[in-house]
């Protein structure tokens, strides 16, 4: 790759990093409940088993080198750049066209995020998996096209790697990978013994699931079959997701154009990238009809659908530019029209990037005063800690102290709400005795007979 191209790619990556990181310009802590929970799980690793324990292992390793809570705000942007580089590598290798590869990462960066669909604004197992999704699909495709077993083995290894990190990021692709394999049935038939190695994926998946869920062999299959049906109401925020809240309209139009051109030109090497959005759309429509999404939740399928589009959008934009070049002879006019087109596409692509539907906008769990108070508590012996609602979610991630309240424990949350409104110390003490609380964090002073150990804009009391 030539030096000017390297400079353009570098600038693009810096802009992508800045775009994703921009929501943290005025807030240095994680925004999403899942982010706080994953930090908490990593604090407990390996004593607590979880289906995403591979991700928690990664966070645990990272925590040995840095303050995980404070570094977390950079991780979404870093992973966004890594995802962009993975996609750039794939598109550049396949098309041998630098600008198609650049366009693809620009459209990738335009995919929106919110609390419901997640996305690049948050560092979760889904975000972690994105570059690996691009890579295993690419190597699977190239293995069939070139009949190279080494590529297919590499694809298999990446999928196995993702199972303990985010198994859904493998499960969602099974339909179109099977269809693509059947389209190439001749190679599949010739090397059927080799392809039996793919049985390792369900085998390892079953073993891993049995280990984490601590199930007997008798209950394993019925349990996993039930849990691969993601019914309506699976997500905390259950709402109908519109296609334009996840990807921009101009991107869709260019993706349709790109898909049409690839079909028209019979670009066989891109068929898997046509099957990808098609099978996801079928899954989405099945959910709309039955209220059940198979293999992956509806919210995740919508995001996987969006991830399939940047390549197609890039081809659509590239061939639109080629059409202008071939249709107009005047060089000056040609350049002006191409510049206008690119500016027009960029404006429409990122116009609504920061828009999030009602109840899906990122919100702040703590402020700086809360953080300093909870951090102070990390120097004390472990004890169950009570804090006010959203602040309580951050207690364990910041201080490694066990928090009384978890987001989904509604009765405890309600009881805690009453506790902070209660004026009688006797009633407060009854609550403390009931839940065996050692520390109480409050935003206002509590005049009860407890040891005050911190009083800088927040108050911490130790119950003796």
Structure tokens at 237: 């925020």
Separation of alpha carbons 385 and 405, rounded Å: 9
* 407 pLDDT higher than 70: no
Contact between residue 143 and residue 191 where contact means Cβ atoms under 8 Å apart: no
* 171 pLDDT higher than 90: yes
47-51, 146-150, 318-322, 422-426: least confident range: 47-51
- Average pLDDT (317-338) is 90
Q: Domain boundaries in the chain?
A: 3-350, 368-462
Separation of alpha carbons 32 and 365, rounded Å: 8
Q: Is the link from the previous residue into 311 a cis peptide, with omega within 30 of 0?
A: no
- Average pLDDT (250-258) is 96
At residue 49, what are phi and psi to the nearest 5 degrees?
A: -85, 140
Distances (CA, A) of 414 to 158, 263, 405, 421: 44, 57, 10, 11
pLDDT above 90 as % of the chain: 67
- Average pLDDT (290-314) is 94
Residue 7 CB neighbour total at 10 angstroms: 10
Q: What is the mean pLDDT of the chain?
A: 91
Secondary structure (3-state) at 385: strand
Separation of alpha carbons 254 and 251, rounded Å: 5
Banded model confidence at residue 359, pLDDT cuts 50, 70, 90? confident
* 238 pLDDT higher than 80: no
Q: Give the pLDDT confidence score for residue 209 in this predicted structure.
A: 82
Burial code of 22-44, b = ≥16 C-beta within 10 A, e = fewer? ebbeebebbbbbbbbbbbbbbbe
What are 23-65's pLDDT values in tens digits? Answer: 999 999 999 999 999 999 999 888 777 889 999 999 999 999 9
Measured CA angle at 366 (ends 238, 454), to 5 deg: 145
Q: Give the pLDDT confidence score for residue 449 in this predicted structure.
A: 86
* 374 pLDDT higher than 70: yes
At residue 385, what are phi and psi to the nearest 5 degrees?
A: -115, 135
What are 172-227's pLDDT values in tens digits? Answer: 999 999 999 999 888 888 888 888 888 888 888 888 887 887 777 777 888 888 88
Contact between residue 121 and residue 316 where contact means Cβ atoms under 8 Å apart: no
* 409 pLDDT higher than 80: no
Residues pairing with 294 in the sheet: 229
Measured CA angle at 151 (ends 148, 152), to 5 deg: 90
Contact between residue 115 and residue 365 where contact means Cβ atoms under 8 Å apart: no
Residue 214 CB neighbour total at 10 angstroms: 8
Strands (E), 47-167: none
Predicted TM-score (pTM) of the model is 0.93
């Amino acid at each position: 790759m030539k030096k000017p191209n390297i400079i353009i790619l570098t600038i693009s990556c810096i802009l992508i990093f800045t775009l994703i990181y921009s929501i943290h310009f005025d807030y240095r802590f994680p925004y999403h409940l899942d982010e706080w929970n994953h930090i908490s799980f990593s604090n407990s690793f390996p004593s607590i088993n979880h289906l995403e324990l591979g991700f928690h292992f990664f966070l645990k390793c990272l925590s040995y080198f840095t303050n995980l809570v404070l570094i977390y705000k950079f991780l979404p942007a870093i992973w966004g750049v890594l995802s962009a580089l993975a996609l750039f590598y794939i598109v550049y290798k396949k098309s041998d066209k630098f600008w198609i590869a650049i366009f693809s990462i620009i459209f990738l960066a335009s995919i929106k995020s919110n609390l419901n669909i997640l996305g690049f604004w948050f560092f979760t197992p889904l975000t972690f998996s994105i570059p690996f999704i691009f890579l295993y699909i690419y190597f699977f495709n190239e293995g069939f096209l070139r009949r190279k077993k080494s590529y297919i083995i590499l694809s298999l290894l990446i999928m196995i790697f993702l199972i303990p990190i985010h198994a859904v990021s493998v499960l969602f692709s099974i339909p179109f990978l099977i269809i693509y394999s059947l389209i190439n049935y001749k190679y599949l038939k010739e090397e059927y013994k080799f392809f039996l190695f793919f049985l390792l994926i369900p085998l390892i998946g079953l073993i891993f699931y049995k280990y984490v869920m601590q199930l007997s062999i008798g209950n394993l299959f019925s349990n996993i079959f039930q849990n691969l049906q993601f019914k309506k109401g699976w997500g905390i925020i259950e709402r109908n997701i519109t296609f334009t809240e996840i990807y921009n309209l101009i991107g869709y139009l260019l993706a349709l154009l790109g898909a049409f051109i690839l079909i028209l030109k019979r670009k066989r090497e891109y068929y898997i990238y046509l099957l990808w959005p098609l099978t996801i759309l079928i899954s989405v429509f099945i959910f709309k009809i039955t209220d059940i999404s198979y293999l992956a939740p509806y919210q995740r399928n919508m995001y996987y659908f969006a991830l399939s589009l940047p390549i197609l959008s890039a081809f659509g934009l590239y061939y639109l530019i080629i059409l202008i070049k071939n249709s107009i002879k005047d060089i000056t006019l040609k350049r002006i029209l191409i510049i206008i087109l690119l500016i027009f596409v960029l404006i429409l692509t990122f116009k609504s990037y920061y828009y999030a539907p009602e109840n899906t906008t990122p919100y702040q769990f703590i402020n700086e005063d809360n953080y300093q108070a909870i951090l102070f508590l990390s120097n004390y012996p472990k004890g169950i800690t009570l804090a006010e609602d959203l602040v309580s979610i951050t207690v364990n991630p910041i201080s490694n102290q066990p928090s009384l309240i978890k987001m989904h424990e509604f009765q405890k949350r309600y009881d805690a709400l009453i506790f902070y409104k209660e004026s009688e110390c006797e009633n407060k003490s009854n609550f403390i005795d009931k839940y065996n609380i050692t520390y109480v964090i409050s935003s206002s002073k509590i005049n009860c007979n407890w040891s005050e150990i911190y009083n800088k804009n927040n108050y911490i009391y130790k119950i003796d």
